[in-house]
Structure 1
């Protein structure tokens, strides 16, 4: 057991971040090795647009659970690369609709088989489909638990309880 593993939940965020960085680095390396210019940060929006003709920025925010400024920045970045375009909604002039450009659709054709290969590889690395599914299910459970729990308040309550116990001794 290494140092990080021995610290358990005290370094959960650090371990998840390290794992995420390793995964994203490997995916970026794969894109580069195939001569594809694509950033892993673009994936959520690009994938959503691959499944939908167009989406509003607000819809993108809700689907990928980011702020409006964060989604707007990603869309602006993709627009700058010529991969997406925005149009004004015919139903609501305040609403900007985002969709893939012809260049974005061309890139998508290259990305789809890569994404499938990435998914298959990750399932294998995680120990096969059942093990992989179990890991993802546990991650979903953990995400839901963290979202529903006010961790800072719970930690503070435990600190206060400990401080009261020490004071009463």
Structure 2
């Protein structure tokens, strides 16, 4: 039997994500900001690109539409984005930053630049782990973990 590194990969990634989210949340709180880390992707995409549909956001963030819709609801409730029916297809929603969201981004952008600098520093310290994570993602896109396991279970 091995040391179980493979089995622990998912737990390890969740633990690292939780550590990062907790620390970033502490920074926001210390700065007097009521901002949830899970909002960043949607807010950042809207700040960079302007109006976007839920499906376009999901594609840009490489997450499912249900996750974007859930984030949309909490961001609307917080007053940071506005959602309107898509003129081309009323079943779809188009999201934009609200005036409050635009002000929030202006306040947070310098902080996000610092986060990026610190993340690059940590990545260098950790031996360019982001490259390895990108390689892991590509390997799983080529062939899923499910496929790799089931082909061994059911030869």
Over the aligned positions, Cα root-mean-square deviation in angstroms equals 1.9
Q: How does 1:11-30 map to 2 (within 5 A)?
A: 11-30=8-27
Looking at structure 1, the residues matched to 74 and 138 of structure 2 have their Cα atoms a distance apart, in angstroms, of 30
Larger CA deviation: 48-57 vs 88-97: 88-97
Larger radius of gyration: 1
Q: Which residue of 2 aligns with 1:120?
A: 117
Superposition deviation, residue 160 in structure 1 = 4.2
Runs of 5+ in structure 2 lacking a partner?
A: none
Counting matched residue pairs gives 153
Structure 2 counterpart SS, 1:36: coil
Runs of 5+ in structure 1 lacking a partner?
A: 1-5, 162-169
Looking at structure 2, the residues matched to 33 and 21 of structure 1 have their Cα atoms a distance apart, in angstroms, of 18
Higher relative contact order (Cα pairs below 8 Å, separated by 6+ residues): 2
Q: Which residue of 2 aligns with 1:53?
A: 50
TM-score when normalising by structure 1: 0.82
Question: In the TM superposition, what whole-angstrom CA distance separates every residue of 1:12-68 from its partner, at most 9, and x where no partner exists?
Answer: 111111111001110000100111110011011011011011001111111112222
TM-score when normalising by structure 2: 0.89
Looking at structure 2, the residues matched to 68 and 76 of structure 1 have their Cα atoms a distance apart, in angstroms, of 12
Looking at structure 2, the residues matched to 48 and 127 of structure 1 have their Cα atoms a distance apart, in angstroms, of 26
